[in-house]
Amino acid sequence: MIFRGGVGLRAGVTLAAALLLGACTDSDHRGQGGDPTYPPPPPPSATTSVDPPAECPVTGVRVRSTGSDAAMGLRALGLELVNCGDRPYQLNGYPVPHVFDEQREPILLRVVNGAKEITSGFDQPPRPVTLAPGERATAVVLWRNLVTDSTVVATTGEFLTVAPAAGRPADEVDPDGPIDLGNTGRIGVSAWKKADPSTPAPTRPAPPPAPSAVPSSVSPPDSRL
């Protein structure tokens, strides 16, 4: 009888220990070595956001505007072409601009190479330019905000694309404001010229030279513009 009672006592102790261990949950062991963490911690959030560098187009060059200046109805928008590729790039001529309205419909204009009919000082003839990788070329787009015929509605462009030369792909550039052409129907460009490598990329173009005299038959620009 004593032997059987001892067996019963040991069995009872064993059963109580098993029940006690069974009552433990995963939360009682969290953080102990060998136990998985539950639930998994959230991924660490980035403390800084870094924009990826702009990719170079397949053409190997990128055209952008460098800001505009205005004086007495004359507008001058600086252009910069950067050779962002890995091989030399050839230029010999004028940029080719295209102007679009707010619906992105093209505005038909006559492009004046050298801008002789718009102002003076930008009519230097083009010369061959070779840009090594990383080098830049500059040019200027020019127009006047003039109304020469009160019966013709003035034209204003909102968007601008510029190709390095005729037949080459164009980039959209920031016109730095409306392209207020009045009803002149024309826009001028200077020839590409190589930028001085020792000169940092400008944020705005140099002020244009004093505008040429406006013929007396031409109405002055609206002073409210």
Separation in Å, CA 9 to CA 1, 5, 17, 20: 12, 6, 13, 17
User: By residue range, what is the domain housing residue 170?
Assistant: 61-194
What are the pLDDT digits (tens) for 8-40? Answer: 445 454 444 444 444 444 444 444 444 443 344
Report the percentage of the chain scoring pLDDT > 90: 56
The domain that holds 90 is classified in CATH as: 2.60.40
Residues 6+ apart with CB under 8 A from 134: 82, 83, 84
In a domain? residue 220: no
- The total domain count for the chain is 1
In a domain? residue 170: yes
Residue 169 tokens read as 């792909």
What are the pLDDT digits (tens) for 43-54? Answer: 444 443 344 456
Residue 135 tokens read as 């080098």
In a domain? residue 29: no
DSSP annotation of 219: B
CB 58 within 8 A of CB 70: no
In a domain? residue 161: yes
Q: How far apart are CA 191 and CA 132, in angstroms?
A: 18
Bigger pLDDT: 198 vs 215: 198
* Mean pLDDT score of the chain: 76
Q: What is the pTM of this model?
A: 0.66
Q: How far apart are CA 96 and CA 98, in angstroms?
A: 7
> With 60 as the cut, is the pLDDT of residue 172 above it?
yes
Q: Of all helices (H) and strands (E), which one includes residue 78? A: strand 74-83
Q: How far apart are CA 29 and CA 160, in angstroms?
A: 66
In a domain? residue 102: yes
Report the percentage of the chain scoring pLDDT > 70: 64
pLDDT (0 to 100) of residue 207 = 46
In a domain? residue 167: yes
Query: N- to C-terminal Cα distance for the chain?
Result: 116
> With 60 as the cut, is the pLDDT of residue 221 above it?
no
In a domain? residue 215: no
pLDDT (0 to 100) of residue 198 = 64
Q: How confident is the model at residue 196 (pLDDT cuts 50, 70, 90)?
A: confident
In a domain? residue 11: no
